[in-house]
Structure 1
Amino acid sequence: MIEVKHLHKTFRIPAPHLSRWERIKAAVTGDGAEKTAVRDISFTVGPGEFVGYIGPNGAGKSTTIKMLTGILHPTSGEVRIDGMSPHKDRRRVVSRLGVVFGQRSQLWWDLPVRDSFDILCAMYRIDRQRQQRTLAELDGLLGLGEFADTPVRKLSLGQRMRADLAAALLHEPDILFLDEPTIGLDVIAKRNIRGLLSKVNRELGKTVLLTTHDMDDIEQLCDRVMVINHGSLAYDGTIGELRERIGLPTILRVSFEAAVSLDNATEPELGFTVAEANGCELTVHFNRQELPALEVLRRLERYGTAQDVHMEEPDFEEIIHKVY
């Protein structure tokens, strides 16, 4: 379980016009401007959850992850991983965490993937029998055998992400922190990585906290989403609840047998908005919380006999844009 209470992080930034000596002096004395990266954030992530942690660049996502993993110390507030502080009980906490950074690899660039795994197992003091068992399970899940003897620098991005994910799972952690795991990948590689992450969560029971700018990652993987903006937590809940909160309309496209006349389309009692009319096709926007889709279709009968119906929920990226 991840518990965060009133987490706050500020940085001292020396003035840019200072000389090198003045910058060193400012760092020692604490002089300079103060920048707040994370502001009074609190949340809890339970065992087995898959949570998206999203926000624009500079919102405080990476700073939060670094505090959760013990890399940065908070200015104030508290972090608990399974009841322990990642700053005071670092070794015990790290053994329970797996971390994947999409833009950085924890593997050795010039060594074969297999050798990197051997080094990591030695660092985590994993015995040979346990290492072989874990790697066999990960090979079945991630298909590592096809590139295990290939130097990391020769891997494709998709292969490297699979290898990095395996490296994060070698010591069988309970919690995974994933920072942009699909960045730079093509469509097929993204789909494969998403499938693997879903298996890691559902079949291995790992708790996952995911940061990403790809809204498809969030929609396809996460049961819950947290939105951070300007260092503060702007939303914490399900994607469905977020759609309802923002209030963006559902889109309904209806094709009729004959061309549509819009003489009565502006009547207030309709309960929906006609967004576009194109010959026999009518596009309307409505709020599903106020008016069921079947009722919208019933009211659309005044325009003729419907032949085909297509309904779309609001684009999730547009929802997030509105939150920002």
Structure 2
Amino acid sequence: MTEPTTQPLIAVHGLERTFDVRRRVEGRRRRVRDRVRAVHDLDLTIERGEMVGYIGPNGAGKSTTIKMLTGILVPSGGSVRVAGLDPSRERVALARRIGVVFGQRSTLWWDLPLRDSFELLQKMYRIEPARYRENLARFVELLDLGAQLDTPVRQLSLGQRMRGDITAALLHDPEVLYLDEPTIGLDVVSKGRLREFLRALNAERGTTLLLTTHDLQDIEALCDRVIVIDHGTAVYDGSLAGLHAQGGATRTLVVDLVDEAPPIEVPGARVRRVEGPRQWLSFPADASAAPVVAAVAAAYDVADLSIQEPDIEDVIRDLYSRGA
């Protein structure tokens, strides 16, 4: 029996997770035990069909949260419900309703062909054969995996393996897909293909996505909502533009001119650095780059230009420095 659809798909209240860490102390034979709070006082709700970015610096508690949402870790305190279930107490029932992809760990069988891994998962999740064939054909087409189905997983490239992991996580039609650094190590083409697939998945099937990443381009391409976690608790919940505005973050337009020139002067941006014909212009992260690019192109002889996004750790650092 499932919960009413009016309830949030994910509901977290006062979530806590602590770890005991032993460390050496000079002059003492026995190690000292410290209690570390990886997550504390965490509240969040995620509705069905949302695409949410869950971001923060290394060690902020992102992966620990995902592991509690999936039932891998038992919370030290607070409550968590996913699809109406308690993840740590109802792991088997929950496993049929969620999909998980950890960017640096594969759920595929290393020495088996990709096709065999998928068939094993079909048996494990007891997916109806017709639905399995339909899903597999759809995902193989969208993720361009047809030529790799008979290749052992250990022989796949990182991008091919990642697409295989995502297919594996979706074969049983999960209601929510957790993605932990899904584009780490991927080239630009593979990242673009993966983002297009995830957008289509959300639009066509209403699959809820919770994405943790350090790549802000993933967030901008996929997520309307961002939750920032730092030191184990949420410090921001809203739009990416609002996060940039609160943190005072800037984007950078890198301009390569045909010849050396004095610092570029255009409305809405200022020059931070000049090295020969290359100049770095900064402008607010929540502002459109189009007017700045157009103004530079109209007034100067440009050989090339590119935009550098702010690092999420810089965004959070600015957020705190302004007392937010």
TM-score scaled by length of structure 1: 0.77
Q: Given residue 9 of structure 1, which amino acid in structure 2 is its aligned partner?
A: R
Q: Which moved more, 1:54-63 or 1:238-247?
A: 238-247
Residue type at the aligned position of 1:32:
R
- TM-aligned CA deviation for residue 10 of structure 1: 0.7
Alignment of 1:153-302 (within 5 A): 153-248=154-249, 275=271
Deviation at residue 249 of structure 1 after TM alignment = 6.0
Query: Which amino acid is 1:80 matched to?
Result: R
For residue 203 of structure 1, report the CA deviation from its aligned partner.
Answer: 2.2
Q: Residues 1-324 of structure 1 correspond to what in structure 2 (within 5 A)?
A: 1-16=9-24, 32-248=33-249, 275=271, 308=299, 315-317=309-311, 318-323=314-319
The residue type equivalent to 1:100 in the other structure is V
**Separation in 2, partners of 1:164, 1:172:** 14
1:253-304 residue CA offsets vs partner (Å, 9 max, x unmatched): 9xxxxx99xxxx9xxxxx98965799xxx99978799xxx99x9xxxxxxxx
Post-superposition Cα deviations, 1:68-96, rounded to whole Å, max 9, x if no partner, equal: 00000111011111221111222221111
How has the CA–CA distance of structure 1 residues 63 and 288 changed in structure 2, closer, same or farther, with 3 Å as cutoff? Answer: closer
- Quote the offset at 1:240 in angstroms: 1.4
Say if 2:52 and 2:226, in contact at 8 Å, map to a contact too. yes
Whole-angstrom CA distance in 2 between matches of 1:96 and 1:288: 37
Larger Rg: 1
Identical columns (%): 50
Q: 1:15 to 1:204 in 2, by over 3 A?
A: same
Distance 1:43 1:111 in 2: 39
Distance 1:245 1:127, change over 3 A: same
Q: CA deviation at 1:12?
A: 1.4
Q: 8 Å contact 1:112–1:150 — kept in the other structure?
A: yes
1:207–1:286 distance in 2 versus 1, CA, 3 Å: closer
| RMSD after superposition | 3.8
Q: Structure 2 stretches of 5 or more lacking a match?
A: 1-8, 255-260
TM-score of the aligned structures, taking structure 2 as reference length: 0.77
Query: How far did 1:247 drift?
Result: 3.1
DSSP 3-state at the match of 1:163: helix
How many residue pairs were aligned?
291
Offset, 1:137: 2.0
Q: For residues 220-277 of structure 1, give each alpha carbon's deviation from its aligned partner in whole angstroms, at most 9, with x where no partner exists.
A: 1111111111112111110111122223468899xxxxx99xxxx9xxxxx9896579
Offset of residue 172 of structure 1:
0.5
| Separation in structure 2 between the aligned mates of residue 201 and residue 208 of structure 1, nearest angstrom | 8
Give the SS at the match of 1:13.
Answer: strand
